[in-house]
Amino acid sequence: MKNKIFPNICLSAMVFYSTLTFAQSTATKVLNGEWEMGFNRKYTQKVSVPSIASDPKKITGETLWYKKVVQLPKGNWKAITLQLKGARFRPELYVNGKLIGQKEGGMAPVFFELENENAKPGKTMVIEIALASLKNIPETDASYIPQSDQWRSNVSFRIMG
């Protein structure tokens, strides 16, 4: 996996690895490539995913958002599962603007079943991932990173069925 460094006004270091896997047909769609990124759901730039965005000295109080439009493959598959690996900063998952779920922080993988009306063969979905600002995470949350001169973290994003 190739990583590119993007210094941004960000909350954390992030690495996205993205694929779609579909139940029944065991097909996988890799979502690596271009994603839109911005703060507070205002997408102001395009970034390559997987990517690393880090600058702990420029932490803001804003939520960091990633967005990608995904064309689902045709076929007989019946379900999609989204797996976030290491989505550390209270990830929220939205499909076509609808909140699917949210998780507490930490580095353990989390799964979301995509039961949206557009999660069907041949349909198009808009996937959005929101990551909380490090300033808004309490010290008791597994996502919390103490202030230091260097730290490492990652968010992996994978859809599988």
pLDDT digits 0-9 by tens, 95-147: 999 999 888 766 677 788 887 777 888 889 999 988 877 777 777 777 676 66
Tell me how far apart the alpha carbons of residues 57 and 9 are, in angstroms, rounded to a whole number: 9
Confidence label for 153 from pLDDT (cuts 50, 70 and 90)? low
What class, spelled out in words, does domain 5-145+153-160 have in CATH? mainly beta
Residue with tokens 């994978």: 158
The residue among 133 and 65 whose pLDDT is bigger is 65
Residue with tokens 């069925």: 161
- Would you state the pLDDT for residue 31? 74
- Would you state the pLDDT for residue 81? 78
The residue among 88 and 92 whose pLDDT is bigger is 92
Identify whether the C-beta of residue 82 lies closer than 8 Å to the C-beta of residue 93.
yes
Tell me how far apart the alpha carbons of residues 106 and 94 are, in angstroms, rounded to a whole number: 19
Residue with tokens 């995913």: 49
Does this model's pTM top 0.75? My answer is no
